[in-house]
Amino acid sequence: MKTFSNLEALLKDLIPDLESVSRPKAASGAGVSGIGSQPELCSVTLKNGTCLDLFLKVVEDDSVPAMHNKSAKTVDKELAFYEKVLPEMVAFQRRLGIQPGSEFDLEKMTLKYFGCGQIEATDDAKAKLILAFEDFASTFAVVGKTDLQTEAQIDACSKAMAIFHAVSFAMLKANKGFGVEEPLTFFEDFIYSANFKDTYGAWHLDMNTKMLKRLAKAKKDSEDVKRLQKLTPKIYDAMRFCRGAENCDNELLVFCHGDFHMWNVAFDKQGQGRVKLFDFQVMCFGSPMAEMHYYLG
């Protein structure tokens, strides 16, 4: 991976016809933060005068995202997805005759990726890794933190993920590679893994316990709440069993997004049913049914 002295030098290497770069600013709103990076936005001007908005994922040395990458390969997985897995999946689609821009085109359903690079440390800042994408905010939007997706949006999401699952399933059946050595090992399930039960699993349990306590106050003596409180300590292990590739019939094994929820997808603002899937830091092999259950839940 190349190292650069500043952001402008990095972006000029990734986008050869770039003329200038605006000062980046922190991104905000639903769907922009995650375990993998700190997002920023910036605008660039091309030599022909065209302006282009970029979405940057920034991973600073010794930051929480950098620590997550050391323990769960979150950044490594996302880099592998955009640089190896997705190109292989799109090439497989093209060989099947699926045209660019069609309703089944995975390239159309994901963010345009320009590449990545390192920015060296200075006296005032630590070294950082930058992943550069074309920003989707002008044409796509993520639902608000207090909103729910509509039935049409749920249908669009389900269709997009079904296509993603179907392509990976067909590739596995055809013994096609994903550009990664030992993909089943590399794409271990971080969220529901026995190796992370004491960390993520403990946080998961604590979050659900607190939520149910608040729910119990609002719905006093509710039998439903009491049943959920009894089940909560078992939910993590149950989900780990359902999602685990080792427990999934080979006939149903697919590449999963891994963290497919309502804030990891953006919708076309014009209401044409188009979606953009993003945040592939915890990709894994597993059950498509467990993935859809995770999303709908």
Dump the DSSP string for 179-224.
Answer: SSSSHHHHT--STT-GGGIIIIIHHHHHHHHHHHHHHHHHSTT-HH
For the chain, percent of residues with pLDDT exceeding 70: 86
**pLDDT for the residue 31:** 46
Structure tokens, 118: 């390192």
Q: Higher-confidence residue: 231 or 139?
A: 139
CB 249 within 8 A of CB 169: no
Mean pLDDT of 203-215: 74
For the chain, percent of residues with pLDDT exceeding 90: 47
Q: Higher-confidence residue: 285 or 199?
A: 285
**pLDDT for the residue 177:** 82
Structure tokens, 276: 């953009």
Rg (CA), the chain: 20
Mean pLDDT of 267-277: 89
Please determine, for residue 33, whether its predicted confidence score (pLDDT) is greater than 60.
no
Query: 46-55, 109-118, 203-212: lowest mean pLDDT where?
Result: 203-212
Per-residue pLDDT tens digits for 44-58: 999 999 999 999 999
Per-residue pLDDT tens digits for 147-194: 888 899 999 999 999 999 999 999 988 988 888 888 878 888 777 666
Mean pLDDT of 140-149: 86
Please determine, for residue 286, whether its predicted confidence score (pLDDT) is greater than 90.
no
SS3 of 136, please?
A: coil
pLDDT classification of 30: cutoffs 50, 70, 90: very low
Helices (H), the chain: 7-14, 64-72, 74-80, 86-95, 106-109, 151-173, 183-186, 202-218, 223-243, 288-296
Per-residue pLDDT tens digits for 235-256: 667 666 666 666 666 667 899 9
Per-residue pLDDT tens digits for 61-111: 998 889 888 888 899 999 999 999 999 999 999 999 999 999 999 999 999
Single pTM value for the model: 0.84
Mean pLDDT of 118-127: 93
CA 77 to chain centre: 10
